[in-house]
Structure formats: C-alpha cells, structure tokens
Amino acid sequence: MISNQILQSTIDGLKNITRKDMSVVEKEGKVIATTEENMIGRQIDAIENFVGSQADSQLILGYQYFKVYDNGIPEYVIQVKGEDEDGYRIGKIAAFQIQSLLVAYKERYDKDNFIKNLLLDNLLLVDIYSRAKKLHIENNIRRIVYLIETNIDKDMNIVEIVRSIFPAKTKDFVTAVDEHSIILVKELREKETMDEIEKIAKMITDTLSTELNVKVYISIGTVVSDLKDVSRSYKEAKMALEVGKIFESDKYIVNYEKLGIGRLIYQLPLSLCKMFIKEVLHGLTMDDFDEETLATVNKFFENNLNVSETSRQLYIHRNTLVYRLDKLQKMTGLDLRNFDDAIIFKITLMVSKYMMYMDKMVY
C-alpha cells in the first residue's frame, strides 16, 4: 500500500539519525527499500520462516529482523544490520514508524475510495453521510473541485506533488481518477473569493510545470456546501475542461462559472447545430470563408465592434476593414456592425467550432 519511494525516504531519514543500515523487506522475502549497497531486489530466504513464526523479532546471521503488522498480520519486515542493543532499539523504532505509515495510508486510502465514489455518484444519499461520519469528514463545509489534466500517463509523483502543495490542509482530498486526470477537492475558507480560487489553480499549474516539465490544464467547478453536491462540482469541472478545449484552447485554466455561451452550445444536440448553421449561412460552411476574413472578424469581436481600433490593431486602413465586412455581409446577409447580426455570427462561429470538435471526437 505504501509506495517504495516513501519507504526508501523513511529509512534514509532513520539512517541519517541513527547511522544504522536497514532495509524494508516484503513478507515473501524481497528487499524493496534499503540503505545498503546492492541489497535492493535481493531475496532473503529466512524471511518466510520468520514471518510464519510466533516471534516479533529475531537475530539471524548478523542482522536483526522485526515484523511490521497490518491488522495483526505481518505486512513487512524491517532488517537492521548489527547484533547490538542499539540495533534492537532502532529496529523497534523503525517498525513502529512503518506501522504508523501503514495506518495513515490505509485511512487515506479509505477516504480516497469514499471521495472517488462520491464524485462518480456511486453512493446512496444515506451512505454518504454515514460513511463520512465514520471517516471523520465534515459535511457542511464549502468545497470546490479542481480537475487537473496532464499530457503524460498517470504518475503517483503528480498526486504526491499536488498533495504537498497543501501540506497543512488535511481536509483537502487529492486522488487520481484516470490515466491523465487528478481531482483536488479543496476546502475553502468562509469568504474565499473566485480570484483566490483561481490563484490556487495557477499555483498548481506553475508547480507541476516547473517540477515535472509537463503541460497542465485545470478546470474548476462551482462552490458547494454539502457533501452530496461535490459530484456536481466535479461534473461542472469536467464539462469546463471539455468546453475550454473547444472555445478557449489557448487557456490552461478554465472556470465553469466563466464559460458563458459556450456552456450552452456544448449541451446542444448536433442535429440542432446543423440546422442552425444551414439557416444562418444559407448552405455555406465555415470552410467557405478565408483565413483573412475570419481573423478580421475575430479581431473585430475582440474590440467590441470598434472599426477604428480593429483597423489600427490589424495595421490596415479603415476602408479595407469596411470592405472586408461588406464582403462578409454579401455572403451571409449579416452586417457585423449591427449588434444583433454580430451576435448571430459569433454564435455561428462557436457552433461551428463545437461541431468540428465533435467530428474529431467521433473519429
């Protein structure tokens, strides 16, 4: 249950304090963490007999062995080099330390399973509150879900790094949900603002990008105050990630509350989208518009339909911009200098993006 990396880090720390070499051995006899050279992976034949005996500790050929229990059953064996009294005392301390880690990891594993099932709506309402009570997870607390997606396969280092960002916040939950995604269920202060919530996302992306040199995308659900609603925040974060990929592909952090009209378009049936495009463009498709025209339109929208500012930013004469807008009007019947027509064409662009994205998903 405990990663070999954590076990290795633990005994390295103990050796730095005690100056004693030691190893952690699986109950089948394989060394999985050690401070001695050339010991990793070695098979110790005497271990299985020791594990099957009644003794808690044993001295064999210059090494002292100590059992580490999980619910009364031996899970690991600590091997300490030396036959002296210090070695015995250090071995008992190491066994106690690893056993405490087992208890902590098991508790966290139980909580992780609870959170996963909560996110995926696998729990009955009555089970949510009863299991939360047993796991000492409070109910009426403000929480929000962050969905963290990376471009590499699931690596437990990423989970541990995200956990390390909030070391003092034991009420935050971090767990991997699939090969590329990690969930952070974050407890919030009573008056934590959306700006502060987005700063947390920025801190996570900066940390992971720096330490692992990977691209990180984060989507944010809405704030909830009841455990049963955490799954809703997760679904919102999941939708925000998808909508962001379609309409805001240049952003690495996407907030569900700021998706705007893209959130509505994402939920439209494709048949309705096709009908809308056909009616607006009169049989044309977005492929019929050249890149120059579309770039001009997008810049025009960015500048709130301001002709002078758009022409300045595009380094073109005002009349050139007017000519391009007139050309588009002849093709579509829409005058983008008119607010209502601009809205229709903006939605047309977004619906077309959505349809192209869905076509790629199919193939």
CA angle 31, 34, 39 (to 5 degrees): 60
pLDDT of residue 102: 87
pLDDT of residue 340: 96
Of the candidates 191, 201, 188, which has an alpha carbon nearest to the alpha carbon of residue 255?
201
d(CA 349, CA 330) in angstroms, rounded, equals 17
| Direct distance between the N- and C-terminal alpha carbons of the chain, in angstroms, rounded to an integer | 39
pTM, rounded to two decimals:
0.70
- Residue 308 one-letter amino acid: S
pLDDT of residue 110: 83
Answer yes or no: are the C-beta atoms of 240 and 258 closer than 8 Å. no
Torsion sign (Cα): 117, 122, 127, 128: positive
Residue 192, both tokens: 């934590």
Answer yes or no: are the C-beta atoms of 119 and 238 closer than 8 Å. no
| Pairs from 357-363 (Cβ < 8 Å, separation ≥ 24) | 357/245, 357/246, 358/270
What pLDDT, in 10s, does the model give residues 230-260? 999 999 999 999 999 999 888 999 999 999 8
Taking phi over 0 as left and psi of -120 to 50 as alpha, with beta for the rest, 182 belongs to beta
pLDDT of residue 1: 61
pLDDT of residue 2: 77
pLDDT of residue 363: 55
Residue ranges in the chain whose pLDDT is less than 50: none
CA angle 106, 110, 112 (to 5 degrees): 110
Q: Which helix (H) or strand (E) holds 160?
A: helix 156-165
Of the candidates 186, 183, 171, 189, which has an alpha carbon nearest to the alpha carbon of residue 132?
171
153 CB-near residues (< 8 Å, 6+ apart) = 179, 180
d(CA 61, CA 167) in angstroms, rounded, equals 42
Helices assigned H by DSSP within 31-84: 46-52
d(CA 64, CA 191) in angstroms, rounded, equals 55
CA angle 169, 175, 181 (to 5 degrees): 125
In terms of Cβ atoms closer than 10 Å to its own Cβ (0-12, 13-18, 19+), residue 166 is middle
pLDDT of residue 109: 74
Return the biggest CA–CA distance within the chain.
94
59 CB-near residues (< 8 Å, 6+ apart) = 65, 83
